[in-house]
């Protein structure tokens, strides 16, 4: 970032560069988003964190200054940048898939350590829509369109292979939002009907798949609890918790438990002690019981011995259900969401469950906003405000998981109050409205993806997130001559 910034001032005077930016009102308005963070220093007490935050937001200062005052790219160079982006995604996903195949990870979300799995999911969704436009609308040779189809297929495979729920959800929701817009703006009746049918099929398919998985999750295999075996095959007494209704894949979790056999047999087969934690930080005992139950095996020596080596290593990595070993299934993520909901509903503890933790973050965010709705807490005091709010709420989240809002709109409201929030929305909407960006395919797809991200993530609170958002916002809106109107 610093290198092009320095080159910018080598070829343009400081005054001349900002004068050009002033003339480009849409770029200037977007640039003012950085000024909003400077203004937030007025209400800040933690200037150390505020300086760190401003450094993170540096792309908002740099990128509009460069793209908003430089000569817009022609069609050929614009395409070349998109090709480079797609190539980087292709190389990255091939590298990450190799790590997944060879189990070079503990949590699959850590496979792409140099790229946040959330941002990678957004990039893959954007890449798929870019190639869809190239395939359908651009006059490329047939061989190149075939190549785009193959790369698109690989991206979809990788999304399932890496269990990127973010990538799949963002792609699917963006498609469901985009298709009605395309149908509405389409003038050819035949194509309008085709798009309407596609939209209906995609929506119906997603609905029926999720409904089937939810129904499957809540189904219970019938068991006569009055006629349970009392002894294992080795003659040891079982422990049956008949009052527990916890299940895994429809099988009762705490029936047929012989904890002595379970511990001894596990310790013979694994180098990780039964009484210790898995590689992901969960208790081996609990993970093992869930895994055996998911396969409808009894929690005894026979059950542990029935596991193959791959399943044993899965338990060691903290995987609690054999269904989660299927790399191409999204069922496991839906199961995790449903289990997190059940745990939260029973004891109000969201720890370890992504969606439930976000609900806790949002509750804390609304509590902070309630006490600071006018001016916000300032650029640097957000972390302290959250810690105080979690204490006030008596939250069951452990201290190391008491994170910020995971919603960019709430984060801005917390930091800058209602007036700052209104200006934030203005900086996003006005430049696109002024340049008719909402009628451009690439910008429209990007802003839908970015907005979806901001609803569940603090997209602009990390270096990677703010760079992703700022670059593509400015690149699609300020950085080119020709727009792709829809």
Q: Residue 337 is encoded by which pair of tokens?
A: 């969401």
SS3 readout for 301-364: HHHHHCCCHHHHHHHHCCCCCHHHHCCCCCHHHHHHHHHHHHHHHHHCCCCCCHHHHHHHHHHH
Do the Cβ atoms of 479 and 73 come closer than 8 Å?
A: yes
Higher pLDDT, 206 or 408: 408
109 has a pLDDT exceeding 80 = no
Which range (315-319, 395-399, 411-415, 424-428) has the least confidence?
A: 395-399
Looking at residue 74, the DSSP 8-state letter turns out to be: P
Choose from 124-133, 325-334, 343-352, 397-406 the range with maximum mean pLDDT: 124-133
What is the predicted pLDDT for the residue at 304? Answer: 95
Structural domain includes residue 277: yes
The string of DSSP codes covering 405-460 is -S-HHHHHHHHHHHHHHHHHHHHHHHHHHHTTGGGBHHHHHHHHHHHHHHHHS-GG
Higher pLDDT, 7 or 91: 91
Q: What distance in Å separates the CA atoms of residue 334 and residue 355, rounded to the nearest whole number?
A: 11
108 has a pLDDT exceeding 80 = no
In percent, how much of the chain has pLDDT > 90? 51
Structural domain includes residue 472: no
Among candidate residues 114, 110, 26, the one with its CA nearest the CA of residue 69: 26
134 has a pLDDT exceeding 80 = yes
Say what the pTM is.
Answer: 0.83
CB atoms within 10 A of CB 380: 23
Which range (57-61, 204-208, 367-371, 442-446) has the least confidence?
A: 204-208
Structural domain includes residue 194: no
What is the predicted pLDDT for the residue at 113? Answer: 73
469 has a pLDDT exceeding 90 = yes
Higher pLDDT, 469 or 7: 469
Looking at residue 236, the DSSP 8-state letter turns out to be: P
What is the predicted pLDDT for the residue at 388? Answer: 92
Do the Cβ atoms of 195 and 182 come closer than 8 Å?
A: yes
- Residues 157-167: b if buried by 16+ CB within 10 A, e if exposed: ebbebbbbbbb
SS3 category, 283: strand
3-state helix, strand, coil in the chain (%, to 5): 70, 5, 30
> Stretch 91-109: mean pLDDT, rounded?
82
**pLDDT tens digits along 211-266:** 998 898 889 999 999 899 999 999 999 999 999 888 999 999 999 999 999 999 99
- Residues 127-145: b if buried by 16+ CB within 10 A, e if exposed: bbbbbbbbbeeeeeeeeeb
Structural domain includes residue 377: no
Structural domain includes residue 173: no
What is the predicted pLDDT for the residue at 449? Answer: 97
Q: Residue 392 is encoded by which pair of tokens?
A: 């006030």
For the chain, the average pLDDT equals 88
Instruction: Report residue 176 CA to chain centroid gap.
Output: 18
Structural domain includes residue 256: yes
SS3 category, 296: coil
Instruction: Give the model's confidence band at 202: pLDDT under 50 very low, under 70 low, under 90 confident, else very high.
Output: confident
What is the predicted pLDDT for the residue at 174? Answer: 93
Higher pLDDT, 102 or 384: 384
Higher pLDDT, 65 or 3: 65
Among candidate residues 396, 399, 409, the one with its CA nearest the CA of residue 362: 409
Who contacts 204 (Cβ-Cβ below 8 Å, separation ≥6)?
Answer: none
Rounded (5°) CA angle 210-215-218: 125
Looking at residue 399, the DSSP 8-state letter turns out to be: G
| Dihedral (CA of 394, 398, 399, 402) sign | negative
| Dihedral (CA of 11, 17, 23, 26) sign | positive
Taking phi over 0 as left and psi of -120 to 50 as alpha, with beta for the rest, 281 belongs to left
2 has a pLDDT exceeding 70 = no
How many separate domains does the chain show?
1
19 has a pLDDT exceeding 80 = no
CB atoms within 10 A of CB 372: 20
Q: What distance in Å separates the CA atoms of residue 12 and residue 307, rounded to the nearest whole number?
A: 67
Do the Cβ atoms of 432 and 443 come closer than 8 Å?
A: yes
Structural domain includes residue 265: yes
Among candidate residues 124, 123, 115, the one with its CA nearest the CA of residue 159: 124
Among candidate residues 170, 81, 181, 188, the one with its CA nearest the CA of residue 128: 170
Domain that holds residue 314: 247-325
Instruction: Give the model's confidence band at 279: pLDDT under 50 very low, under 70 low, under 90 confident, else very high.
Output: confident
What is the predicted pLDDT for the residue at 1? Answer: 66
Structural domain includes residue 301: yes
| Dihedral (CA of 356, 163, 470, 138) sign | negative
What is the predicted pLDDT for the residue at 145? Answer: 93
10 has a pLDDT exceeding 80 = no
What is the predicted pLDDT for the residue at 77? Answer: 93
């Amino acid at each position: 970032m610093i290198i092009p910034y320095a080159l910018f001032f080598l070829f343009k005077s400081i005054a001349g560069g900002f004068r050009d930016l002033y003339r480009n009102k849409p770029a200037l308005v977007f640039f003012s988003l950085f000024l909003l963070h400077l203004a937030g220093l007025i209400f800040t007490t933690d200037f150390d964190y505020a300086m760190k935050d401003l450094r993170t937001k540096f792309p908002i200062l740099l990128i509009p200054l460069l793209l908003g005052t430089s000569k817009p790219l022609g069609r050929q160079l614009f395409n070349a940048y998109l090709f480079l982006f797609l190539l980087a995604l292709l190389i990255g996903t091939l590298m990450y898939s190799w790590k997944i195949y060879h189990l070079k990870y503990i949590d699959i979300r850590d496979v792409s350590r140099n790229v946040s799995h959330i941002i990678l999911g957004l990039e893959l969704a954007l890449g798929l829509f870019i190639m869809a436009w190239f395939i359908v609308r651009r006059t490329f040779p047939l061989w190149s369109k075939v190549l785009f189809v193959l790369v698109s297929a690989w991206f979809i495979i990788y999304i399932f292979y890496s269990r990127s729920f973010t990538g799949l959800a963002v792609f699917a929701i963006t498609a469901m939002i985009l298709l009605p817009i395309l149908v509405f703006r389409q003038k050819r009746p035949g194509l309008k009907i085709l798009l309407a049918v596609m939209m209906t099929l995609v929506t119906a398919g997603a609905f029926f798949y999720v409904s089937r998985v939810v129904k499957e999750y809540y189904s219970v295999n019938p068991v006569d609890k009055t006629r349970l075996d009392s002894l294992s095959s080795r003659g040891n007494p079982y422990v049956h918790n008949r009052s527990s209704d916890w299940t895994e894949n429809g099988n009762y979790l705490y029936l047929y438990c012989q904890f002595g056999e379970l511990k001894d047999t596990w310790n013979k087969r694994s180098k990780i002690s039964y009484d210790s934690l898995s590689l992901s930080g969960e208790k081996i005992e609990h993970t093992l019981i869930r895994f055996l139950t998911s396969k409808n095996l009894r929690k005894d020596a026979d059950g542990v011995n029935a596991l193959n080596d791959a399943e044993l290593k899965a338990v060691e990595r903290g995987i609690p259900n054999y269904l989660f070993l299927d790399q191409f299934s999204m069922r496991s993520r839906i199961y995790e969401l449903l289990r997190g909901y059940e745990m939260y509903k029973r004891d109000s503890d969201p720890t370890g469950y992504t969606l439930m933790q976000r609900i806790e973050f949002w509750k804390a965010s609304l509590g902070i906003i309630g006490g600071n709705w006018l001016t916000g807490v300032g650029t640097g005091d957000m972390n302290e405000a959250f810690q105080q709010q979690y204490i006030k709420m008596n939250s069951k989240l452990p201290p190391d998981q008491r994170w910020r809002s995971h919603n960019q709109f709430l984060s801005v409201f917390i930091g800058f109050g209602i007036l700052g929030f209104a200006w934030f929305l203005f900086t996003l909407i006005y430049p696109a409205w002024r340049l008719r960006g909402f009628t451009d395919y690439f910008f429209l797809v990007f802003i839908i993806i970015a907005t979806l991200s901001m609803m569940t993530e603090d997209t602009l609170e990390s270096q990677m997130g703010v760079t992703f958002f700022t670059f593509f916002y400015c690149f699609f809106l300020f950085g080119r001559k020709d727009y792709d109107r829809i």
